Amino acid sequence: YCATCDAPFFKDQKVVVIGGGDTAIEEALYLTKFAQEVTIIHRRDRLRATKILQERVFSNKKINFAWDSVVTKILGNEKVEGILVQNKKTGEEKEIPCQGVFVFVGNVPNSKFLNELIKLDQKGYILTDDNMMTSQEGIYACGDVRKKLLRQVVTACGEGATAAFAAQKYIEEIKGVSYK
């Protein structure tokens, strides 16, 4: 589910958020406006989210945690009725009743098809310069497929504008109509 889109459908219900980064914590906090209870399942013993988000989530009385845990099964036939989690350290399994599951566990760039054309980092993110040009002259990249620190809509939009402007300048230079 998408918390921003689907949270109102879970009014006064129990939901689970899987993940421990900024997106997972932001969405968990948003869900507390609607849900009766939010349980965050995280495979580690601490969150990766920013300090301010951690302070907010730890002070929210509607949020519970299952640390060092992974979801092994979503329960229910026609609809979600709960999840089964396993603690990675103890091996203990427990059932958590819930009506919704929201997954925010990272992403993998869809860039394998570019492997022979441009340089990628070891995780598959595209390497660019400050103007968004890749290792192949005339090819630009922007957004979450690019190697960068912050993956948010606002950064992708800014990179898109930079890439478009740089590509326009590149084409103008090729045509010999560049305005330097």
- Break the chain down into helix, strand, coil percent, rounded to 5: 30, 25, 50
In order, the DSSP letters of 138-161 are T-B--STTB--S---HHHHHHHHH
**Of 2, 12, 98, 121, catalytic:** 2
Residue 157 is among the residues annotated as catalytic for this protein:
no
**Of 5, 12, 130, 144, catalytic:** 5
C-alpha torsion angle, residues 54, 57, 60, 65 (rounded to 10)? -110
CB atoms within 10 A of CB 8: 9
Residue 98 is among the residues annotated as catalytic for this protein:
no
Strands of the 100-103 sheet, one edge to the other: 63-66, 37-41, 14-18, 100-103
Residue 6 is among the residues annotated as catalytic for this protein:
yes
Q: Contact 88/70 with Cβ under 8 angstroms?
A: yes
Measured N-to-C along each axis, helices 51-58 and 22-31 cross at an angle, to the nearest 10 degrees, of 30
Which is nearest to 64 in space by CA: 87, 42, 48, 44? Answer: 42
Active centre residues (catalytic): 2, 5-6
